[in-house]
Amino acid sequence: MSGRIEVKLGTWQRRRLQEIRDNPQTPRISKRAVCLLLSADGASTNLICQVTGLSGDAVTDIRRRWQRRGIASLREMFRPGRPPKITAQYRKQLRKALRDGPLSCGYVFTTWSIARLNTYLQNTTGIRICNDWLRQLIHAEGFVYRRPKYTLKGKRNKKAFRKAQKSLSRLKKGL
């Protein structure tokens, strides 16, 4: 199609799209509603792309589906492809492991590393993912992961440590 697809809205359609924009079921549906509202107001494809983050082809597809199906075009369609590897059970197990810690899972260490957590989750759920994806899932679940900082504080001989600090300070001063 060479010409721009026009979007014309009746008053009830405009009100419905504004409701959907303000209280969307998903972010995708909200973007579609915004795209249609802007299109009806005569906004250019480039402006709509900047506002919504959609591509020009996506804007054209949304407009074309609107002409064919109206409000029904906003609904989520079946999206073919491989089903997600991460299940609700996996996420539940991940949250439990992060909340309870490795000691309650039968390990002798006190802090999860990503690799250890990944191995534990693979053993309990049968699902193996890469460590980077696990880090993203941990963040998505609202947990913060930082690598543990290993120190000898609390494990050193305090008298010897103070003596070494004093001698080091004397050496620095040139005494």
In a domain, 24, yes or no: yes
- Give 96-128 pLDDT, tens digit per residue: 999 999 999 888 888 898 999 999 999 999 999
The pLDDT tens digits for 31-65 are 999 999 999 999 999 999 999 999 999 999 999 99
Domain that holds residue 65: 11-74
pLDDT level of residue 2 (50, 70, 90 thresholds) = very low
What is the C-alpha to C-alpha distance for residues 175 and 167, in angstroms, rounded to an integer? 9
80 is a domain residue: no
Give percent above pLDDT 90 in the chain.
48
Is 24 in the same domain as 48? yes
Average pLDDT score over the chain: 88
Q: Mark whether 100 and 69 lie in a shared domain.
A: no
Asked whether residue 6 carries a pLDDT value surpassing 90, the answer given is no
Query: Are residues 23 and 49 located together in one domain of the fold?
Result: yes
* 3-state per-residue secondary structure call for 48-73: HHHHHCCCHHHHHHHHHHHHHHHHHH
pLDDT number for residue 148 = 67
What is the rounded CA–CA span in Å between residue 59 and residue 39? 9
Q: How would residue 154 be classed by pLDDT, with cut points 50, 70 and 90?
A: confident
Domain membership of residue 64 (yes or no) is yes
Count up the domains in the chain and report the number: 2
Q: Are residues 49 and 98 in the same domain?
A: no
